[in-house]
Amino acid sequence: MGDESKYKNEPGRKVKMEKLLTIDELAKVLSVKKSTIYQWVHLGLIPHIKVGRLLRFKEGNIQKWLISREVKPSPRFRAIL
């Protein structure tokens, strides 16, 4: 119940929306084909929002998703580097 007030648009108060990326914008940012992104959406691999028939991607969610996919070097090979 306590969280309800933070979502209400109070008079005179601006609500800042997070930037939503289109398929074209996301493909350019990630340097992949649009068909790759459609495949990731179909497989449920990438966070997305459906606005009617359109797909949109929250910039913050994509950043978190990318960070979660980062591969760290194995500790046993660090001595070699």
pLDDT in tens, the chain (81 residues): 555 555 566 676 777 888 999 999 999 999 999 999 999 999 999 999 999 999 999 999 999 999 999 988 877 766 555
Looking at residue 74, what is its pLDDT? 77
**DSSP at 53:** T
- Report the C-alpha gap between 47 and 55 in whole angstroms: 10
- Domains delineated in the chain: 18-71 (1.10.10)
> Could you give the angle at the alpha carbon of 72 between the alpha carbons of 71 and 77, nearest 5°?
125
Phi, psi of 58 (to 5 degrees): -70, 130
pLDDT at residue 79 in the model: 57
